């Protein structure tokens, strides 16, 4: 159940929330592990989302017996295949939600397990001047599922954690936001509701988020 705290800032995950990219990430991982003769299934990968590429590659590679050098090569190949297939695309209703929040002068952040170079470049090209701060896996000692990146974003915005709303699509991100004392709305862009049960509310699209927030911001 959603709480009654006044929402003073909104923090967005990037992949699977700001941008429709998780299908391309999965394809990149599939192709990278195929190089070593291993299949990767969606149910293995998508629950790991929110972590950095090093953590994901180890969690997928070590049980398959890959050496540290091979895991590094998986990372290189994954990035290569992702870059070849990815085209920036937003989900229906996302730009309407951003306009709704901007009209109410709420500070906005991106909190992501992605690398700073990739995410910052995408935001500057496709969504310039939309977000007030960006926190990536490169900016904190511990990324999702720890609270660190969410707390850093709140600090950067000058907003107390209990007044921050987080929009996530992955269980590890939800865990980190909850650990930071923040309210979470989960959107089922990449995983079903059964994976997102720690969120205060679960929606299927961004128009629903705007409806939920009408009297909260």
Same domain, 158 and 142: yes
Asked if 107 and 197 sit in the same domain, the reply is yes
If asked whether residues 41 and 15 sit together in one domain, one would say no
Tokens representing 39? 């299949």
Cα separation, 120 vs 115, in Å, equals 8
| 105 and 61 both lie in a single domain | no
37 in any annotated domain: yes
Which residues have CB under 8 Å from 29's CB, separation 6+? 40, 45, 56, 60, 78
Q: Which of 61, 85, 109 is the last residue of a domain?
A: 85
User: 70, 85, 100 — which closes off a domain?
Assistant: 85
CATH number for the domain harbouring residue 26: 1.10.150
Q: List the chain pLDDT tens, one digit each, 217 residues.
A: 456 678 999 999 999 999 999 999 999 999 999 999 999 999 999 999 889 899 999 999 999 999 999 999 999 999 999 999 899 999 999 999 999 999 999 999 999 999 999 999 999 999 999 999 999 999 999 999 999 999 999 999 999 999 999 999 999 999 999 999 999 999 999 999 999 999 999 999 999 999 999 878 8
Q: Who contacts 178 (Cβ-Cβ below 8 Å, separation ≥6)?
A: 184, 198
Mutual angle of helices 22-34 and 68-85, in 10-degree steps: 130
* Domain total of the chain: 2
Tokens of 170: 């992955």
Contact call for residues 7 and 213 (beta carbons, < 8 A): yes
Same domain, 103 and 206: yes
Last residue of a domain, one of 85, 117, 135: 85
Q: What pTM was estimated for this model as a whole?
A: 0.91
Same domain? 36 vs 141: no
Q: For residue 153, is it within any domain?
A: yes
Same domain, 188 and 118: yes
pLDDT at res. 24: 92
- The answer on 72 and 175 residing in a single domain is no
Q: Which residues pair with 110 in a beta bridge?
A: 12, 134
Mapped onto helix, strand or coil, the DSSP state of residue 90 is coil
Strand partners, 184: 166
Is 2 domain-assigned? Answer: no
Tell me: do 130 and 185 sit in the same domain: yes
Residue 41's domain spans which residues? 22-85
């Amino acid at each position: 159940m959603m709480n009654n705290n006044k929402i003073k800032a909104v923090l967005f995950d990037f992949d699977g929330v700001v941008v429709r990219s998780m299908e391309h990430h999965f394809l990149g991982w599939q192709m990278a592990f195929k190089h070593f003769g291993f299949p990767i299934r969606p149910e293995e990968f998508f629950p790991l989302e929110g972590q950095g590429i090093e953590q994901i590659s180890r969690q997928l590679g070590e049980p398959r017996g890959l050496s540290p050098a091979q895991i590094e090569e998986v990372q290189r190949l994954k990035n290569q295949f992702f870059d070849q297939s990815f085209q920036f695309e937003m989900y229906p209703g996302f730009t309407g939600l951003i306009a709704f929040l901007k009209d109410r002068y709420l500070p906005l952040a991106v909190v992501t397990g992605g690398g700073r170079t990739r995410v910052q470049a995408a935001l500057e090209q496709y969504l310039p001047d939309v977000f007030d701060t960006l926190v990536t896996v490169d900016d904190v000692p511990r990324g999702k599922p720890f609270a660190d990146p969410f707390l850093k974003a709140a600090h950067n915005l000058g907003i107390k954690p209990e007044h921050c709303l987080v929009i996530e699509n992955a269980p590890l991100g939800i865990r980190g936001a909850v650990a930071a004392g923040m309210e979470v709305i989960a959107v089922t862009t990449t995983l079903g509701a059964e994976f997102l049960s720690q969120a205060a509310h679960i929606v299927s699209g961004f128009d629903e988020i705007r409806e939920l927030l009408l009297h909260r911001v």
